[in-house]
């Protein structure tokens, strides 16, 4: 039998930390726990968890700084922020910094577990279309989970990869914002188009900063990847 996926839970509130870890364990996942940013970095880099539930407000480093250091160290595990901050600007900051989800306190444990499972499926637990998707010199390998623009490999988060794959599968067609929310996140972001726009902007920096431009905005509708 395959070993269960490991999730690192980072929260300085002991009761929340315990409840989240317990709920994940009941869902069949292995958990690690940390109460500070420094401890989270040590565990994440030493144990290589498959996903991380990360509180933003920690006693030493905030969650955004922990995420930045993790990504710089090469950690590609999906990160789900857990925070009391509800502002759209905070959501955009966390997601575009390389986070994969943003869960606001108070929350339902069942929903948190579902989102963690979804994040794990994105990075390898769910079947993907075999082979490669390609438009011009932009190539996405669905099995190796790698992306290249020309000879340069792009480092994408799990959510960025899912978004790009959706656009490439529908190459030449317009993908609406509603379709992006449904297929990439599989739940509603309350229509906050700033989230999608931020992710598309990040994708453009990573895979579409050279000519010819392949990712196009269809105003008032959505986005399209098409041959030049």
User: Which pLDDT belongs to residue 157?
Assistant: 86
Taking only the tens place, the pLDDT of each residue in 90-133 is: 777 777 677 888 888 888 898 899 889 888 877 654 333 446 88
Considering just the CA atoms, what is the radius of gyration of the chain in Å?
18
3-state per-residue secondary structure call for 83-94: ECCCCHHHHHHH
Strand order from edge to edge, sheet including 215-218: 175-176, 222-225, 215-218
Q: Please give the average pLDDT of every successive group of 10 residues along the chain, which has 228 residues.
A: 82 94 90 96 94 94 92 89 76 73 86 88 52 86 88 89 89 86 66 79 94 93 90
pLDDT at 127: 36
CA distance 144 to 114: 25
Cα-flanking dihedrals φ and ψ of residue 159, to 5°? -70, -40
Domains of the chain listed by start with CATH number: 6-124 (3.40.50.2300), 132-225 (1.10.10.10)
Q: What is the pLDDT of residues 23-42, one digit of tens each?
A: 999 888 999 999 999 999 99
Reduced to 3 states (helix: H, G, I; strand: E, B; else coil), residue 23 is: helix
């Amino acid at each position: 039998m395959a070993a269960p996926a490991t999730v690192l839970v980072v929260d300085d509130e002991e009761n929340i930390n315990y409840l989240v870890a317990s709920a994940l364990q009941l869902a069949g996942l292995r958990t690690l726990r940390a109460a500070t940013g420094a401890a989270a970095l040590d565990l994440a880099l030493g144990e290589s968890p498959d996903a991380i539930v990360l509180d933003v407000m920690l006693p030493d480093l905030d969650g955004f700084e922990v995420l930045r250091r993790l990504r710089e160290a090469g950690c590609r595990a999906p990160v789900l922020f857990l925070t009391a901050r509800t502002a759209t600007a905070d959501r955009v900051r966390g997601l575009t910094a390389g986070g994969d989800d943003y869960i606001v306190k108070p929350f339902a444990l069942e929903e948190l577990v579902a989102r963690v499972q979804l994040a794990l499926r994105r990075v390898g637990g769910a079947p993907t279309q075999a082979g490669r998707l390609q438009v011009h010199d932009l190539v996405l390998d669905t099995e190796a989970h790698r992306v290249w623009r020309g000879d340069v490999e792009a480092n994408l988060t799990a959510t960025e990869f899912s978004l790009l794959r959706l656009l490439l599968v529908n190459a030449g067609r317009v993908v609406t914002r509603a379709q992006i929310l449904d297929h990439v996140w599989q739940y509603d972001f309350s229509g906050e188009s700033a989230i999608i726009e931020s992710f598309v902007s990040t994708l453009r920096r990573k895979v579409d900063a050279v000519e010819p431009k392949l990712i196009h905005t269809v105003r008032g509708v959505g986005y399209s990847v098409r041959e030049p």
